Chain A
Amino acid sequence: MVRVGLPSMVSPSLRSIHEDSRRQLYRESFDAELKERVRAVGYSMGLPRPYVDVAIEAHTTLGNVLERITILEKDESQSEFTDEANLLTQVYRLKEVFCEIASAKFSIDASPDDDLPGVFAKFLADAEFANGVPSPEKCKKLEQIVRLSSEFSSVLRNPRSNFTSFLSRSASVVAGTCVGIGKHALGIVDHAYDWVIVDEAARASPMELVVAMQSGRRVLLVGDHLQLPPIYPIAVEEKTSQILGVSRSDFRRLNNFKRAFASEYGKQVGRTLLSQYRMADSISQLVSTCFYEGALRVARAAPGNEYDALPAYIQKQVVWVDTSDQGRHAFHSEAETNEGALFNEVEANSVVAVMRDIAKSPEFLRALREKLRPSEVAIGIIAMYASQRDLIRKKLDQADWASEIRDMYTVGTVDSYQGKENRIIIVSIVRNKTERSVGFLHESERINVGLSRAKDRLIIVSSTSMWSGRTGMPMKRVLDEFSKMVENGKAQVVMSLELKGDKANA
């Protein structure tokens, strides 16, 4: 199996099968067996076996040392980094190494002051003579093959040597993103695979899907059309919606996966999976009721008792940090970066205050760390807007109390979060003003993704007064269901100023 793509984009559990790891493994194996491999070629060329054995041994040992000596002697630029005396010492030391190997392995008596290339040439000539004087041309070729093999190893160190194009043809399973596998140099799209399985297919644009689907004899699309749809560049969105005669907003809602799933063929071959293994009971109830008509079933155990050590206000599985107590101060602001970019300082401070409370719960952190899988990130902070993500990230980067939990959290936008999950999710909704428009927060799929990433704890940071009067909006549905859960003791609301007070007194 091989995972293609940028190393930084690959999850830690897949690093061992990443294309770079596979390349390094291949190179290491080649290096370890280099003599045997060259020997096989030498034998097949018809050279006498004893000669091949001794010549390869000599080229890979004495030949290599001589090459290093030549490089040092001719390379004047070394003097910038090493003084001349040091350089001479290095060269002399290498000559001593040559003599030691020559004596130990080949019974050659030589001293560092001798003409070592001459000594080496004589040894090879003697070996040829002793083995029936094989073709000098073939002997030369053997030496070249040893050098070629050494170069093969060097080139294999280069991540851009495109070893992947071989891997992608020979591996049983090739994994990558729709865009990543489309890189033509890899040759993946020129090959016909038995199966192509596309995960998060409802999120992929037709252009992305076609890249992957054309490479398969059979195709399996896995996705959830109640989560985020594909995102297109604005120019594509404008032009295509114009051609189709629909608004940009309606165009965004066109979902090919949904259409395929709802088609006659889709009904015949499609299956819906209703058991979910991620969200704890209360979180699942909120998500299932608000976005799946209550159809989801919980197929996981309850969260462990490590959460007992958290501050009292995070004891329930679902918590709402309500910023309505800060009135207009809690309104969002427009970022100067680009149109529609919003941030909310009060929400960001509330997120930081919650994080600080978690960071100052050593017993919880200790218990949690024992349960985390290697490289698992426990806490995810999801912002509905990129500017808010940047603001929260900056505040947490600069928090001098956060050193103990730096490896335990990640901050991202809702768009980057589909397909991910964390034990604790803090969602900053950001938008909060009296104006009627709620921007893209009217998209149910967006809110669904934001809330359904949580496994054990879901903390929503937003103003309840923003949503209480907005009938029909997904956040209003969430607030209504949340309020019922509070009444039933399954959720808790905490006012943001209470957190602020904690922060000031900490």
Chain B
Amino acid sequence: MRERFNTVAIGVPAQQFLVRCHVSMERQVPVMTEFAVRLLQLTNRMDVDAFRTYFGLRGHETQDLLDILRGEGLVDEVEGTLSLTSYAVARFVGADDGLPRFTKIAERQSRPIFELLSFSPLPRMSSAIYWDNTLDVDWNASGESFGHTIDNAQEAFHRHFHEIERLDKDDEHRRAFDVYKIDAITAGKRFNVPLPIHFDVDIDGSVEYSLEGLESLPQELKSVVVKLTADRVGKLPQLPDHFSEFVRVFDDELLAQYLFKNTKDFDVTAPRINGDFNFPEYVHHVHGSKDGMIYDAKQSQALLGALYLEKNQARVLESLALALRNFKDTATAATIYPNEMFWVIPDSELWGRTDLIRSTVEALRKTVAKEWGEPVDLVAVSNASQTDILDKLRKRARLLLEAGFTDVLLGPAPSIAGRFELLILPGVHASAMYHWKVPSSDVVSVPVGFATTQPVKLRKLVVFLQRMCTFKLHRAFYNTEESAGDTKLRIDEASASHFLYLNHFLDASNDARTESE
């Protein structure tokens, strides 16, 4: 059994080139043969010494070349003077560039797109512009030389000419026999082709990557991409493990069954099963046979994998819609509606590296708008070091704002929280995940957790949220009022006082659902 737990896009660098070349329309003769006879066609006659000097040959090499020419019936030699045979002269074809031609050639312009790793040609459709949130990978480690793109493109054009012709010309009768020579190459703009990599985990906790799309890429390149991704993943920081705290703090009895020996009191000092989280049994019981077990008197559902994956997105949206409806139906005049939804992002560079995050944010906003009549703001709560320079903060903030978040809170987080993820509409609904490190890897983590409307859990999660928010130093947002609608990224200081209103959601009296029950 394999479960997908994340999808990360890698940006494969690519570039378009304009190649001005000549192509041969028929089989070519070997280059030395061709230019020997063309030279003799221009000179009419030539002594062997001049011939040898022109081609830069040693004595026996000259004889070897002449043997080839004589063997083909192209050249006669009389007393050290060479001339073409009448057979050779008859084989010349007309040309409009003033040079004698032994092979029929034609001028051609081609605009191939090469990925810059192995310089394989890509179909045009792959060159679409893409949201640049891909994981940066050390492409230089692939051993390819980025400094010689024109030379590499020239070599690749020769090597892949037939493939390029196939991509360019559907009619095979219009395709050339081969490339004859390249006259000039001009490089166009570089761009990234996104290559999604899916992360799957099996029941033993072994992680497997699989590539999606770009089927035309050579196996070798796919292997390079996977290796570089693995190497990049291997360089991610190793965060401390606080799984037991996650389970204990948020009172999750289901996870506790697979983590602690004694689940009654969540005794963290009790020996764990197999010395660790019993992932095989957890997956088998909770997600295998039950497909995301529902528990806590139907108020919680188990989740496995990133929240933005399609399967989890659907579950979260469904339970959120239900929670919104219940909240509205049971609200009184005194009930305070939350107007901000928070996404506390884990300290992981593998989080949110595809367009899935954008679609999830949009779907969350639409779901709230549909149930409550108006959307709520979506606030990303993201880790950033106190020493991060402004440019780094701006880059991080811009990516999240472009994903659809209204505001981004940036700043340090308590070390315990690095593996915690929380998506919460205070007082209404929350999804809490712990990024559990799989044993087969030093750093890869699988999100495990739950979506819940259970009031006690919700209140505990709001406490966690408040704590996370008060740690943040900066608040980033697009200011649409300035410069006549020109959106400008602003980064202000974050104020702890802004989050005092969350206290309302710690008060059970505001819990519409509790009152109704």
Nearest A-chain residue to B65, judged by Cβ: A166
CB distance from B368 to the nearest CB of A (A): 38
Would you call A173 an interface residue if the criterion is a C-beta within 8 Å of the partner chain's C-beta atoms? no
Between-chain CB contacts (< 8 Å), 7 pairs: A37-B53, A71-B20, A75-B20, A81-B187, A147-B98, A185-B30, A397-B223
- A397 contacts B226, C-beta separation under 8 Å: yes
Assembly CA distance A224 to B49 (angstroms): 49
- The reply to whether the CB of A367 lies closer than 8 angstroms to some CB of chain B is no
Residues of B within 8 A of A141 (CB): 42-43
- Provide the bound-state CA to CA distance between A77 and B187, in Å: 13
B67 proximity list for chain A (CB < 8 A): 169
Q: Chain A interface: which of B163-171, B332-340, B437-445?
A: B437-445
Asked if residues A165 and B30 are in contact (CB atoms below 8 Å), the reply is yes
Whether A30 contacts B30 by the Cβ 8 Å rule is no
| Any B CB within 8 A of the CB of A433 | no
A156 contacts across to B, CB distance below 8 A: 31
Contact A41:B50 (CB < 8 A) given known A81-B187, A145-B42, A159-B159: yes
- Interface residues of chain B, those whose CB is within 8 Å of chain A, are 16, 18, 20, 28-35, 38-39, 42-43, 46-47, 49-50, 53-57, 60-61, 64-65, 67-68, 98-99, 109, 111, 141, 154-155, 158-159, 178-184, 186-188, 206-209, 223, 226-227, 230-231, 233-235, 276, 439-444
Q: Using A398-B230, A401-B234 as known contacts, list a sample of 4 further A-B pairs with CB atoms less than 8 Å apart, ordered by residue number in A.
A: A26-B56, A80-B18, A163-B31, A402-B234
Count chain B CB atoms within 10 A of each CB in A144, A147, A398, A406 and give the residue with the most: A398
A326 CB to nearest B CB, Å: 12
Q: Residues on A close to B: CB < 8 A?
A: 26, 29-30, 33, 36-38, 40-41, 43-45, 71, 75, 77-78, 80-82, 141, 144-145, 147-148, 151-152, 154-163, 165-166, 169-170, 185, 187, 349, 393-394, 397-403, 406, 503-504, 506
**Given A148-B35, A151-B99, A403–B231 Cβ distance below 8 Å?**
yes
- Interface contact A406-B231, CB-CB below 8 Å: yes
Q: Once A and B bind, how many residue pairs between them come within 8 Å at the CB atom?
A: 164
Nearest to A37 among chain B residues (CB) is B54
A502 to chain B, nearest CB (A): 11
Interchain CB contact under 8 A, A37 and B56: yes
- Select which of B50, B61, B181, B188 is within 8 A of A157 by beta carbon: B181
Task: Say whether A165 contacts B68, CB under 8 Å.
Answer: yes
For the complex, what is the distance from the CA of A71 to the CA of B43, rounded to whole Å? Answer: 28
Given contacts A81-B186, A170-B61, A503-B440, contact A397 B42 (CB under 8 A): no
Contact status of A166 and B39, CB under 8 A, knowing A80-B18, A147-B99: no
Q: Is the CB of B208 within 8 A of A398?
A: yes
Report yes or no: A163 in contact with B30, Cβ–Cβ below 8 A.
yes
Residue of A43, A148, A160, A393 touching B178 (CB-CB under 8 A): A160
Chain A residues near B187: list those with CB within 8 A.
81
Task: A399 to B233: give the CA distance in the assembly, Å.
Answer: 9
Select one of B29, B43, B208 contacting A44, CB under 8 A: B43
For B68, list chain A residues within 8 Å (CB). 165-166, 169, 187
Residue of B nearest to A164 (CB): B30
Assembly CA distance A40 to B226 (angstroms): 55
Chain A residues with CB under 8 Å of B57's CB are 170
- Please give the distance in Å from B99's CB to the nearest CB on chain A: 6
Q: How far is the CA of A80 from the CA of B113 in the complex (A)?
A: 14
For B440, give the chain A residue with the smallest CB separation.
A503
Nearest-CB residue, chain A, relative to B97: A147
Given A77-B18, A403-B230, A398-B439 contact (CB < 8 Å): no
CB distance B28 to A161 under 8 Å?
yes
Whether A157 contacts B182 by the Cβ 8 Å rule is yes
Q: State how many angstroms separate the Cβ of B265 from the closest Cβ of chain A.
A: 27
Partner of A82, one of B32, B186, B231: B186
A242 CB to closest chain B CB (Å) equals 36
Contacting pair A155 B98 (CB below 8 A) = no
Is A154's CB under 8 angstroms from B181's CB? yes
Docked-complex contact A151 and B181, CB < 8 angstroms: yes
In the assembly, what is the distance between CA of A80 and CA of B439, in Å?
52
On chain A, the residues within 8 Å of B30 by CB distance are 161-163, 165-166, 185
Q: What residues of B have a CB within 8 angstroms of the CB of A165 in the complex?
A: 30, 32-33, 68
Q: Which 3 A-B pairs have the closest CB atoms?
A: A400-B234, A44-B50, A403-B231
Complex Cα distance A186/B231, Å? Answer: 42
Inter-subunit contact B186/A33 (CB<8 Å): no
**Could you tell me the distance in whole angstroms from the C-beta of B230 to the nearest C-beta in chain A?**
5
C-alpha gap A157/B156 in the complex (Å): 12
Contacts of A506 in B (CB 8 A): 442
Q: In the complex, what residues of B have CB within 8 A of residue A399's CB? A: 230
B184 near A71 (CB under 8 angstroms)?
yes
Please pick, from B31, B60, B208, B439, the residue contacting A161 in the complex, using a CB distance under 8 A: B31
Cross-chain contact A41 with B54 (CB below 8 angstroms):
yes
Determine whether the beta carbon of A38 is less than 8 Å from that of B54.
yes
Check A144–B184 contact: CB distance below 8 A.
Answer: no
Report B65 CB to chain A, min CB distance, Å.
6
Contact call A40/B50, Cβ cutoff below 8 A? yes
Q: Which residues of B contact A144 (CB under 8 A)?
A: 42, 98-99
Taken together as a complex, chains A and B put the C-alpha atoms of A506 and B440 apart, in Å, by 8
B39 touching A169 by the CB < 8 A rule? no
The residue that A403 contacts in the complex, of B28, B65, B178, B234, with Cβ under 8 A, is B234
Say yes or no: B18 contacts A400, CB within 8 Å.
Answer: no
List chain B residues, Cβ under 8 A from A406: 227, 231
Which residue, B46, B50, B65, has most C-beta atoms of chain A within 10 A?
A: B50
Contacting pair B43 A45 (CB below 8 A): yes
Q: How far is the CA of A41 from the CA of B65 in the complex (A)?
A: 17
Shortest A335–chain B CB gap in Å is 16
Closest to B31 in A: A161
A397→B227 contact, CB < 8 A: yes
Return chain A residues, CB-CB under 8 Å to B209.
Answer: 397-398
Q: Measured between alpha carbons, how far is A156 from B223 in the docked complex, in Å? A: 32
Set of chain B residues within 8 Å of A151, measured between Cβ atoms: 99, 181
Residues of A within 8 A of B231 (CB): 400, 402-403, 406
Q: Roughly how many angstroms separate A165 CA and B187 CA in the complex, as a whole number?
A: 33
How far, in Å, is B460 (CB) from chain A's closest CB?
32
State the CA gap A256–B259 with chains docked (Å): 64
Tell me, rounded to whole Å, the shortest Cβ–Cβ distance linking A175 to chain B: 18
Minimum Cβ distance to chain A for residue B295 (Å): 29
Question: Which of B56, B183, B233, B234 is within 8 Å of A154, CB to CB?
Answer: B183
On chain A, the residues within 8 Å of B18 by CB distance are 77-78, 80-81
CA A163 to CA B36, docked complex, whole Å: 12
Q: How far is the CB of B19 from chain A (nearest CB, A)?
A: 10
User: Which chain B positions have C-beta within 8 A of A349?
Assistant: 206
CB–CB B38/A158 < 8 A: no
CA distance A303 to B227 in the complex (A): 31
Q: Is the CB of B64 within 8 A of A162?
A: no
Chain B residue with minimal CB distance to A33?
B56
Given the interface pairs A44-B43, A163-B31, A397-B226, the reply to whether A158 lies near B442 with Cβ below 8 Å is no
Nearest Cβ on chain B to A42's Cβ, whole angstroms: 9
Residues of B within 8 Å of A401, CB to CB, are 234, 441-442
User: Within 8 Å CB of B440, what residues of A?
Assistant: 503
Among residues of A, the one whose C-beta sits closest to the C-beta of B47 is A44
Q: How far in angstroms is the closest Cβ of chain A from B221?
A: 12
Q: Once the chains are docked, how many angstroms separate the CA of A82 from the CA of B186? A: 9
- Cross-chain contact B180 with A155 (CB below 8 angstroms): yes
Q: How many whole Å from B232's CB to the nearest CB in chain A?
A: 8
Which residue, B16, B35, B158, B178, has most C-beta atoms of chain A within 10 A?
A: B35
Report chain B residues within 8 Å CB of A147: 98-99
What chain A residues lie within 8 Å of B39 (beta carbons)? 41, 145, 148
In the complex, what residues of A have CB within 8 A of residue B65's CB? 166, 169-170
- Contact A158 B54, beta carbon cutoff 8 Å: no
* Bound-state Cα–Cα, A316 to B248, Å: 48
Closest B residue by C-beta to A80: B18
Closest chain B residue to A151 by CB distance? B181
A69 to chain B minimum Cβ distance, whole angstroms, is 13
**A157 to chain B: which residues have CB within 8 Å?**
154, 158, 181-182
> Known contacts A144-B98, A170-B60, A394-B208: does B31 contact A43 (CB below 8 Å)?
no
Q: Which chain A residues border B159 with CB–CB below 8 Å?
A: 159
